[in-house]
Structure 1
Amino acid sequence: MTTHITGTREEWLAARLELLDAEKELTRRSDELARRRQELPWVRVDKEYRFETEDGSASLADLFRGRSQLLVYHFMFGPDYKAGCVSCSAIADGFNGIAVHLANHDVTLSAVSRAPLAKLLAYRRRMGWTFPWASSGDGRFNFDFNVAFTEEQQREGTVEYNFERAGHAMDVTPVPLPVAQSAAMTGTDAPTYSLDRPGLSAFVLEDGAVYHTYSAYARGLDGLWGMYQWLDRAPRGRNETGIWFRRHDEYGQR
Structure 2
Amino acid sequence: MQNQVVSRDEWLAARLGLLKQEKELTRRSDELARRRQDLPWVRIDKEYRFETGEGSASLADLFKGRSQLLIYHFMFGPDYTAGCPSCSAIADGFDRSVVHLANHDVTLAAVSRAPLAKLQAYKQRMGWTFPWASSFGSDFNADFNVSFTEEQQRNGTIDYNYARETPAPAAEIPSRSTPDGATVGAAMSGTDRATYTRERPGMSAFALEDGVIYHTYSAYSRGLDGLWGMYQWLDRAPKGRNETGVWWRRRDEYNKG
Return the TM-score normalized by structure 1: 0.97
How do 1:60-209 residues align onto structure 2 when only pairs under 5 Å count? 60-167=59-166, 171-173=168-170, 176-209=179-212
Mapped pair 1:25 → 2:28: no
Shift of 1:94: 1.4
Of 233, 238, 242, which aligns to 1:239? 242
What SS class does the counterpart of residue 153 from structure 1 fall into? helix
Q: How many residues align?
A: 251
Give unmatched runs, 5+ long, in structure 2.
173-178
Long gaps (5+) in structure 1: none
Equivalent residue, structure 1, for 2:175:
none
- CA–CA separation in structure 2 for the residues paired with 1:185 and 1:64: 32
Summarize the Cα distance change of 1:249–1:45 in structure 2 as closer, same or farther, 3 Å threshold: same
Counterpart-to-counterpart distance in 2, 1:20 and 1:31: 16
Q: Deviation per CA, 1:196-248: give whole Å up to 9, x if none.
A: 00000000000000000000000000000100010100000000001000000
Aligned-partner SS, 2:198:
coil
- Give, as a single letter, the amino acid of the residue that structure 1 aligns with 2:160: Y
For 1:202, the aligned partner's letter is A
Counterpart residue type for residue 149 of structure 1: F
Match of 1:48 in 2: 47
Look up the SS of the partner of 2:22 in the other structure. Answer: helix
Deviation of 1:250 after TM superposition, in Å, equals: 0.2
Amino acid at match of 2:246: I
Q: How does 1:212-227 map to 2 (within 5 A)?
A: 212-227=215-230
Paired residue secondary structure (1:204)? strand
SS of the residue corresponding to residue 70 of structure 2 reads strand
Q: Determine the C-alpha separation between the residues in 2 that align with 1:174 and 1:128.
A: 33
Same amino acid, percent of matched pairs: 72
> How far apart are residue 178 of structure 1 and its match?
2.2
Query: Once the 2 structures are TM-superposed, how far is the Cα of residue 96 of structure 1 from its aligned partner?
Result: 2.2
Residue 97 of structure 1: how far off its partner (Å): 1.4
Give the drift of 1:154. Answer: 0.6
Residue 61 to residue 177, structure 1, CA distance change in 2 (3 Å)? same
For residues 106-149 of structure 1, give each alpha carbon's deviation from its aligned partner in whole angstroms, at most 9, with x where no partner exists: 00000000000000010000000000000000110000000000
* One-letter code aligned to 2:198: L
- How far, CA to CA, are the matches of 2:237 and 2:94 in structure 1? 22
Give, in whole Å, the separation in 2 of the partners of 1:249 and 1:51.
29
Report deviation, 1:174: 7.9
Is the alpha carbon distance of 1:200 and 1:174 closer, same or farther for their aligned partners in structure 2, counting shifts above 3 Å? closer
Q: Secondary structure at the match of 1:34?
A: helix
RMSD of aligned residue pairs (Cα, Å)? 1.2
The letter for the 2-side match of 1:123 is Y
- Large movers: runs of 4+ above 4 Å: none
